Chain A
Amino acid sequence: MASVSVNVDGLANSEDWEGRYFHVDQILDRPGPRTDPSFLAGDKVKDFLRNKCKILVIGAGGLGCEILANLALTGFKDIHVIDMDTIDISNLNRQFLFRPADVGKPKAIVAAEYVMKRVRGVKVTPYFGKIQDKDVDYYMQFNLVICGLDSVEARRWINATLVNLVDTENPESLKPLIDGGTEGFKGQARVVLPTITSCYECSLDMLNKPTAFPICTIANTPRLPEHCIEWASVLEWPRIHGEKKLDTDDPEHITWLYAAAAARAKEFNIEGVTYSLTHGVVKSIIPAIASTNAIIAASCCNEAFKIATSSAAYLNNYFMLIGTEGIYSYTFEHEKRKDCPVCGGELLEISISHETTVEQLIEMLTERQTIQIKKPSLTTSTKHIYLQGPPQLEQATRPNLEKKVSELVEEGDPVNVTASTLPFTLELVIKYT
């Protein structure tokens, strides 16, 4: 007799139904040849995964749905999810946590409810809004962050936030970031250990250049339907609507662009301008492929599981998948960039007296043999201390030269130093003696 009763719908009504962890426990109950020395096989690691580990999923779209389902089924029980979007009918072919009746509702909330309904004992806490709404304390509460995002901007933001969160005095402040991304048949999964391994910003130059057409071509000699659409959005929209911003999420705006682009296409005998192409071009949409999402999400969750449990070596640090012609994948270590504006740069602690003036500080910097700096410009996040140029700004900040640094900069307030001799940025942390 099984000790767990089974409901008519086939789901166990106890939280951890019999056999739930049978397969996962094969990995967690004993160390293997590739497990980390710190791996605590058995109850300890299971307790961490199932009762203590708090994981944040950013994005509840194509990747996010897969990630949420995978995590819940692997045994993560405290999952948070953020997404600022609502469900569109075109999402339903691959975002399997949503149903036609959900169209228009927030993705994060619907996804969280669905996962909790299907996988007993998992708590999914949704937030319908932007990642930028949340502060440092919010991100501090998680052990791990997984991203399934579609925008470079959001990735850069979360990457910079997690890098800046790192406080060497507090190991808990280092939050591994697992970033998944797909574009048609291509995808990538990577593990970022903020400040330790290469970060998202380090690899920005690997991004494909967005296709931009020369403005004179779109203005004069359009040959492609895309040229007509770009003409409508780049030149015609601002000409007709002035300051009014184009909202690519507003169907009325897209309809207007479509009409303008279609008229222009007719004038130049160009075929192929459609509403969906217009929408696609202005939002730079690349068709999403469900199977690419499934592979990348699986890879991300596999990494999350390995990092959370130390049960196997984690990805170091970049996995790319190219499914355009057959299946090809390549894993390599992307190196940290020394001059990365987020995780690179150098940090210099400097002790000065309360009486030291800005001019004296600049002199101290230029005399330092170790940094070889010439004509440094200094700012904090809120004000300019001294700028070497252009002339107007140099004049505006010149009076600061005679002021005491302590009047302008609070202790511990980072000061950004740039100079032509520095290929990277230097951050000063000032201590007053």
Chain B
Amino acid sequence: MLKILSMKKNEDAAAKKKPKTSAAQIRVQKDLTELDLPPTMKTHFPDATNLLNFTLTITPDEGMYQGGAFNFSFNINSNYPHEPPKVKCLQTIYHPNVDLEGNVCLNILREDWKPVLNLNSVMVGLQYLFLEPNADDPLNKEAAEELRKNREQFLYNVKSSMRGANIKGVHYDKVLEH
């Protein structure tokens, strides 16, 4: 037990004191303070002292979802960035890649998540879903089918759902910005 205990503190790395902040916390601090978001995305922290739970509002300025304000909750656990943040849509929206419970089909939120990605990549990925809804990865099958088969009808459904309407027996929340 002898050699190691007398090992010299000659290395810089050994000259380290006691940090008490978790690795996840520091990483989230880094991610958040370096966010580089377009004006179409805003974060909101219900508790300004808690960086791990917040919401993101996306207000697309082009595409078929223009004029809507879409809210997502972000929950980050202590295993971040080895686990992706948990992201849910807080409204019931008509979108092929978002189901009625708010689950989002975005590859980097699940199967393609890597620790080198960050919160900025997730947010940009979410916004992309509003610019290019993807009919090939459907979570809302009805919406995906409509997008594939009848784009005009889909566009119409998007517009009316955003005003708060029933489509095929499902009520969608009003999400207009104003």
A377 beta carbon closer than 8 Å to chain B: yes
Given contact pairs A381-B20, A414-B20, A213 touches B32 in the complex (Cβ within 8 A): no
A320 at the interface (CB under 8 A from B): no
Smallest CB-CB separation from B141: which chain A residue? A220
- Does B53 make an interface contact (CB < 8 A)? no
Q: Does A85 contact B (CB under 8 A)?
A: no
> Which candidate, B62-70, B100-108, B147-155, B162-170, is the interface stretch facing chain A?
B100-108
| Interface size of B as a range | 35 or more
Q: Which listed segment binds B: A15-23, A92-100, A167-175, A324-332?
A: A167-175
Q: Are B23 and A341 in contact (CB under 8 A)?
A: yes
Q: B17-31 toward A: CB 8 Å interface, digit per residue (1/0)?
A: 111111101110110
Cα–Cα distance between A340 and B80 once the two chains are bound (Å): 14
Residue of A53, A239, A347 near B16 (CB, 8 A) is A347
**Choice from B3, B43, B49 contacting A36 with Cβ under 8 Å:** B3
Neighbouring A residues of B2 by C-beta, 8 Å: 36, 38-40, 310
Interface pair B37/A390, CB less than 8 Å apart: yes
Q: Does B9 make an interface contact (CB < 8 A)?
A: yes
Interface 0/1 of A391-433, CB less than 8 Å to B: 1110010000000000000001010101110000101010000
Interface residues of B in 60-79 (CB under 8 A from A): 78-79
Q: B137–A214 contact, CB under 8 A?
A: yes
Residues of A within 8 A of B132 (CB): none
Closest A residue to B30 using CB positions: A418
- Measured in the bound complex, the distance between the Cα atoms of B22 and A156 in whole Å is 10
Contact code string A256-293 (vs B, CB < 8 Å = 1, else 0):
00000000000000000000000000000000000000
How far, in angstroms, from A111 to B163 measured CA to CA in the complex? 64
Are B37 and A416 interface neighbours, CB within 8 A?
no
Collect the chain B residues with CB atoms within 8 Å of residue A53's CB.
Answer: 1
Chain B: CB-nearest residue to A379: B29
A238, CB-defined interface residue at 8 Å: yes
Report whether A48 and B1 are in contact in the complex, using a CB–CB cutoff of 8 Å.
yes
Near A by CB (< 8 A), chain B positions 97-152 give 97, 99, 101, 103-105, 107, 109-111, 113, 115, 137-139, 141
B1 touches A216 (CB 8 A): no
Query: CA–CA, A375 to B25, complex, Å?
Result: 19
CB distance from A44 to the nearest CB of B (A): 9
Q: Kindly identify which residue among A176, A392, A396, A416 contacts B19, using a CB–CB cutoff of 8 Å.
A: A416
A160 to B16, CA, bound (A): 12
The residue among B7, B17, B20, B44 with the most chain A CB atoms within 10 A of its own CB is B17
- In the complex, A201 has a CB within 8 A of chain B: yes
List of B residues within 8 angstroms of A130 by Cβ: none
Q: In the complex the two chains form, is A219's CB within 8 Å of B29's CB? A: no
Most B-side CB within 10 Å, residue of A40, A381, A429? A381
Task: Please determine whether B14 and A195 come into contact, CB atoms closer than 8 angstroms.
Answer: yes
Q: In the complex, which residues 3-17 of chain B have their Cβ closer than 8 Å to any Cβ of chain A?
A: 3-7, 9, 11-17
Task: Please measure, in the bound complex, the distance between the C-alpha atom of A164 and the C-alpha atom of B19, giving whole angstroms.
Answer: 7
The secondary structure that dominates the B interface is loop
- Known A-B contacts A36-B3, A384-B49, A389-B34; A216 and B139 likewise in contact (beta carbons under 8 Å): yes
Asked if A392 meets B33 with Cβ closer than 8 Å, knowing A38-B3, A416-B26, the reply is no
Complex CA gap A377/B83 in Å reads 24
B156 within 8 A of A: no
Please, how many angstroms separate the alpha-carbon atoms of A36 and B3 in the complex? 8
For B115, the chain A residues whose CB sits under 8 A away are 204-205
Asked whether B101 lies within 8 Å of A238 as measured between CB atoms, the reply is yes
In-complex Cβ contact of A215 among B27, B42, B110 (8 A): B110
Our pick among A40, A347, A380 for the contact of B15 (Cβ within 8 Å) is: A347
B20 A196 Cβ-Cβ under 8 A:
no
Of the listed residues B1, B3, B45, the one surrounded by the most CB atoms of chain A closer than 10 A to its CB is: B1
Asked if A396 contacts B32 (CB within 8 A), the reply is: no
Q: Which of A195, A214, A384, A414 is the one whose CB lies under 8 Å from B105?
A: A214
| A219-B139 contact given A164-B18, A427-B17, CB 8 Å threshold | yes
The residue that A420 contacts in the complex, of B34, B37, B79, with Cβ under 8 A, is B34
The interface residues of chain A lying within 8 Å CB-to-CB of B7 are 171, 174, 193, 196
Closest chain A residue to B56 by CB distance?
Answer: A390
**How distant is the Cα of A40 from the Cα of B139 in the complex, in angstroms?**
68
Residues of B within 8 A of A233 (CB): none
Cβ of B82 within 8 Å of any chain A Cβ, yes or no, is: yes
Q: Is A212 an interface residue (CB 8 A)?
A: yes
Of the A-B pairs whose beta carbons lie under 8 Å apart in the complex, a sample of 21, sorted by A's number, is A166-B14, A172-B5, A174-B5, A195-B14, A195-B16, A196-B4, A205-B115, A213-B110, A215-B109, A215-B110, A219-B99, A219-B105, A220-B141, A310-B3, A343-B16, A379-B21, A381-B21, A387-B33, A390-B42, A392-B45, A414-B20
What 6 pairs between A and B have smallest CB-CB spacing?
A341-B23, A381-B20, A216-B137, A418-B30, A168-B9, A377-B33
15 more A-B residue pairs beyond the given contacts A171-B6, A389-B34, A392-B43, with a C-beta to C-beta distance below 8 A:
A174-B4, A196-B14, A212-B111, A214-B107, A216-B137, A219-B138, A219-B139, A239-B101, A344-B13, A377-B30, A387-B32, A392-B48, A414-B20, A416-B26, A416-B29
